[in-house]
Structure 1
Amino acid sequence: MSGETLLRVAGADLVRDGTTLLGDVSLTVRSGEHWALLGANGAGKSTLLSLLGALVHPTRGTVEVLGERLGRVDLRQLRSRVGHVDPRHPLRSPLTVRDVVLTGLTNSVERVPRWAPTEEETARADELVALLGLHDRREARWPVLSQGQRTRTLIARSLMPRPRLLLLDEPATGLDVAGREQLIDRLDALARTRPRLATVLVTHHLEELPPATTHAMLLRDGRRLAAGPAEEVLTDDLVSACFDHPVRLTRVDGRWNVRTRQPASR
């Protein structure tokens, strides 16, 4: 049975300074779906995510986020209802992991002066910290965290307001193998424990996709090349066309692997 529609993009263009960044893009995301946005550098992935996160308006076409059409709603209010994870979080203070997670309630980078969480809110923060595999690091301070620990902290932070939609912009950027695998494990745990949550993950590495990925969109030069169930979209031919390079995909235990496709021998 289809879930509730959380995102609907129809014929969206985004033009900046005469340059078309996105052209005629359409996408529908429903609750419980886990989408991957894939494409080469400059394909328009993060630009599309900015539309889905209500950060910008489309030049043409329509974008509906959580049932609200952009252009007819206060974007700031709408953004507070979407979990948006950006690894380039501009925090400068030595907040603890727990305190960073709690800033998700105030939608601020720093702790808001004279604001204090309730016991229930603190308990929820600790629950999310544990879910993201950081229970033993909840009192650790931001400057001493690894990049992987920071990313998982920011995911916990984004979940504090109980969003129905979670957007992840290249969350594995800068991670070593251990950090990447820990992140993928926790994203899979999130899918299991939050069955109604929808996620959209931007990456250009198929190896970074969690096994829970249900759908995929391939972007090339700002246009949709293919979109739909992951097993129909993530094929040798479509991914090769997306990245303009002949590749062969394999999938083991739900994880994708990519290698250059060698020409058939004569």
Structure 2
Amino acid sequence: MAHRSPRLVAALEGVGVRRATTDQLILDGVDWSVRAGEHWALLGANGAGKTTLLRLLGAAMFPTTGTVEVLGNRLGRVDVRELRAHIGHVSTTQRVPQDATAHTVVLTGATGSVQPLWRKYDAAAREQAQELLAELDCKELADRPFGVCSGGQRARVLIARALMPAPSLLLLDEPFNALDLPSREDLIDALHRLAVTRPDLATVTVTHHLEELPPSTTHALLLREGRVQSGGPAAEVLSSERLTRCFGRAIEVTSQDGRWLARSGRAV
């Protein structure tokens, strides 16, 4: 019996992006595909194009050249508002009412709104929000105002919010930003559990630190100056040689128990 590849979640072919105001080339000739159940790390120096690539996957912008297909829909030929409802997006810069409880913040994920739309939430949605808080190991935060939650707690609440519409693709834009060590490890554990309990979910995580990648990371994409430097299975891509070439600085990569550690020496 022939082996069937997992469903294609996103596909980019020959993608280029230019900034309209300055004509600066941000992405150049990017070819990339993401399949169901894959968990990608997206790495590169500041200005490499990581955020732009994530915005394309999130149907938040269009390419200048090339094609982008997300969940079987080509950008430019689909109502992006409808498409975005099936894509989970988590960023520490998201606007969230600070006085809203964690449960309310998760509920707003059902409508994709900043403020709660109470008439839209039935008993099933409220129960789902509670279950997602439990799944992210923060059910005790249900009645706590979002503004007084710690950075790690906020990150997990925002992930629960992004999972409300049961997305096939989850985009994580530097979710570990400014977290202390215990909070970072709690979030890594939560993401690892998600990979186990939701085998069809695909994730793409933008990060600057290999230490933040959970053991469930399957693939990695390295960007340098808007071009794909390397992409493929994490065990192959996250090597000293490839990271050194990507960042232009001597980097030593070691791994243990499914986790990575990167150390930098002199510039090359």
Query: Same fold by TM-score, threshold 0.5 exceeded?
Result: yes
Q: After superposition, what is the alpha-carbon deviation per residue over 1:57-96, rounded to whole angstroms, capped at 9, x for unaligned?
A: 0000000000000011111111111001111111234111
Verify the 8 A CA contact 1:35 1:200 in the aligned structure 2: yes
Distance in 2 between residues matched to 1:248 and 1:224, nearest whole Å: 20
Q: After superposition, what is the alpha-carbon deviation per residue over 1:165-223, rounded to whole angstroms, capped at 9, x for unaligned?
A: 10000000111111111110000000000000000000111111111000000000011
2:9 aligned residue = 6
Query: Which residue of 7, 10, 24 corresponds with 1:19?
Result: 24
What is the TM-score with the length of structure 2 in the denominator?
Answer: 0.95
* Alignment partner of 1:220 is 2:224: yes
Distance in 1 between residues matched to 2:25 and 2:100, nearest whole Å: 40
Distance in 1 between residues matched to 2:9 and 2:129, nearest whole Å: 25
Verify the 8 A CA contact 1:35 1:217 in the aligned structure 2: yes
2:236 aligned residue = 232
Q: After superposition, what is the alpha-carbon deviation per residue over 1:138-158, rounded to whole angstroms, capped at 9, x for unaligned?
A: 111111111111111010000
* Alignment partner of 1:32 is 2:32: no
1:208 aligned residue = 212
Distance in 1 between residues matched to 2:97 and 2:169, nearest whole Å: 27
Query: Which residue of 142, 160, 164 corresponds with 2:164?
Result: 160
Verify the 8 A CA contact 1:93 1:110 in the aligned structure 2: no
Q: How many residues align?
A: 262
Tell me how large the CA RMSD over aligned residues is. 1.3
What is the TM-score with the length of structure 1 in the denominator?
Answer: 0.96
Which blocks of at least 5 consecutive residues in structure 1 are unaligned? none
Q: After superposition, what is the alpha-carbon deviation per residue over 1:224-254, rounded to whole angstroms, capped at 9, x for unaligned?
A: 0000111111111100111111111111111
Sequence identity of aligned pairs in percent?
51
1:105 aligned residue = 110
The secondary structure found in structure 1 opposite 2:52 is helix
Distance in 2 between residues matched to 1:20 and 1:69, nearest whole Å: 22
Distance in 2 between residues matched to 1:217 and 1:116, nearest whole Å: 39
Which amino acid counterpart does residue 51 of structure 2 have in structure 1? S
Which blocks of at least 5 consecutive residues in structure 2 are unaligned? none
